[in-house]
Structure 1
Amino acid sequence: MSRRPRGRGQRSVGASIALHATLITATVIALFPVVWVFLSSLKPRSAIQSSRITLFDQPSLDNYRRVLLETSFPTWFLNSIVVAGLTMVFGLAMSATAGYALSRFNFPGKRGLMWLFLVTQMFPVAILIVPIYTIMANLGLIDTKLSLVIAYCSVAVPFCTWMLRGYFDTIPRDLDEAAALDGLGPFATFWHVVLPLARPGLAVTAFYTFLTAWGEVAYAIAFTLSDSKLTLGAGLQQFVPQYNPQWDLLTAGAVLIMVPASLVFYFAQKHLVAGLTAGGTKG
């Protein structure tokens, strides 16, 4: 007979102290870099590069003013918004339709396609970037936002398809049959019946695809050449050249980058836990 896990009131004092100490330590480790970057963004460059460690040293918003008004950061920011937004929309559309097809229909090559989606996740960016660059060059898409959207979708769609397929499996097929009896076709059933029930899974997919494109660096550096086409990941590297790195601008830019991702997480958070847990099980 399996033992039932102990409840909160049944935990010993030592176990409770150890658990809370572990959680506090993990929280400090996770938050320390973010807090340190934020505090550094308020310091002048001399204080950041000083060997003397201080939490506050002449705090001001001058670094943010310089980043927003004296650099190309607003252009990079807008480019990243466009690329991440398009990646999220197209990635969500392809992942949802592919995941639904894999969940509901049987067709030749279905198992092979699922394995293909899985295998593509095993290749690192260093291997994929050369062939994808060659394809983009042959299509004349180098130094365009479209090349980044295609590259990011190639990374995000296979994983999101697997995740949404698992989520669609948890939705009873009886609903599809009832919709068919009411005269709905496969796409109408998918759009009007299944998608509204899959909002938690869709929220996770949207969040993942947005983050895939938002902070990516390797593809952005390889596929964009002109300063007006750079995204944030590639543009911020201009603040840290080999000589005379501008850590004051970099830290301020890093804090500003976190704002859109935090907003996306804030609006999607109520669906994230349900989407992640349901997507990993099959009803």
Structure 2
Amino acid sequence: MTPALVRRRVSTVVLSAIAIVVFVASVFPVYWMLNSSFLPNNAIRGPVPHFWPDEFTLRNYETVLGDGGRAPFLPALMTSLTVTLITVAAALLLAFLAALAVTRFRFTGRRSFIIAILLIQMIPGEAMIVSTFRVLDGWQLLNTIAGLTIVYVATVLPFTIWTLRGFVGGVPIELEEAAMIDGCTRMQAFRRVTFPLLAPGLVATGVFAFIQAWNEFLLALVIMQRPDMMTLPVWLRTFQQATQTTNWAAIMAGSTLMAIPVIIFFLIVQGRMTSGLVAGAVKG
């Protein structure tokens, strides 16, 4: 066995071991959440860790779904789904048009617009909570899906524009010009040639927008104050109370249920998302 072959095999073993460690470190918190959701609260709070559900119970899920002492789960789920899906659709549409404009056209203020997108992303959301609250209160949009959706779209839009700009820039404009030479109009060339190539990028960007809107907590806490209008991250907070012992088992069960729509969304778009991530990595 040559030294080069030995080094190659050693590096393969080392890289495989590192990959396994990273995988276990990434998956273990999810497993711990799922495992804890099937354990009673006293077992979770006890000094002995339970690495498998040896005291299996479904009471935590019964508490999450049927506890009348706190805001119900299903309205919070519907609010989160509605706000997130509308946010993703609106953000992708607006960001797609903006990305096309800054990539395909040259106009006055184009560079300033791109710099403004970067600057907006640097501003922490907490700095705009008071002004956002006052604006929505003046528009009578507090505790409404429309109000929270507007805020989420404004929050997600800079990132989606910047990401889609890389995908649009990675598709040569010569493809459209060749289709137009073959007899297509500009709109037909875009619809038949360019848009199918951009679809993976739209899916990949939509996934990031979905996660950002789905997991957002602070803005939803400030804007959606009524119990029947809570989103899931805010609803999950109701299990932690200052005057009572925190029901960590129920929190784990609620977190597991909260993760299911995200998993379903990933399963639906995973093929397109993978190709979109690879395509967007080549050109920015």
Question: So what's the TM-score if we normalise by structure 1?
Answer: 0.89
User: What does residue 5 of structure 1 align with?
Assistant: none
The alignment of Structure 1 onto Structure 2 pairs a total of residues equal to 275
Q: Distance in 2 between matches of 1:9 and 1:142?
A: 66
Higher mean C-alpha displacement, 24-33 vs 269-278: 269-278
Q: Distance in 2 between matches of 1:157 and 1:27?
A: 31
The alpha-carbon distance between structure 1 residues 19 and 178, as it changes in their structure 2 partners (threshold 3 A), is: closer
1:1-283 map, 5 Å = 11-55=7-51, 56-70=53-67, 72-180=72-180, 182=183, 184-185=185-186, 189-242=189-242, 243-282=244-283
The alpha-carbon distance between structure 1 residues 58 and 214, as it changes in their structure 2 partners (threshold 3 A), is: same
Shift of 1:197: 1.8
- Equivalent position SS for 2:20: helix
Q: Distance in 2 between matches of 1:268 and 1:89?
A: 15
Q: Distance in 1 between matches of 2:165 and 2:176?
A: 15
RMSD: 2.1
Shift of 1:18: 2.5
Q: Distance in 2 between matches of 1:212 and 1:169?
A: 24
> 1:63 touches 1:248 (CA, 8 Å); kept in 2?
yes
- Equivalent position SS for 1:53: coil
Letter paired with 1:58 = E
The alpha-carbon distance between structure 1 residues 195 and 183, as it changes in their structure 2 partners (threshold 3 A), is: closer
> 1:176 touches 1:189 (CA, 8 Å); kept in 2?
yes
Q: Distance in 2 between matches of 1:261 and 1:150?
A: 21
Gaps of 5+ in 2: none
Higher mean C-alpha displacement, 219-228 vs 148-157: 148-157
Gaps of 5+ in 1: 1-7
The alpha-carbon distance between structure 1 residues 70 and 114, as it changes in their structure 2 partners (threshold 3 A), is: same
Q: Percent identity?
A: 31
Q: Distance in 1 between matches of 2:191 and 2:233?
A: 35
> 1:200 touches 1:274 (CA, 8 Å); kept in 2?
yes
Shift of 1:191: 4.0
- Equivalent position SS for 1:198: helix
Q: Distance in 2 between matches of 1:231 and 1:204?
A: 24
Shift of 1:173: 1.0
Q: Distance in 2 between matches of 1:152 and 1:11?
A: 51
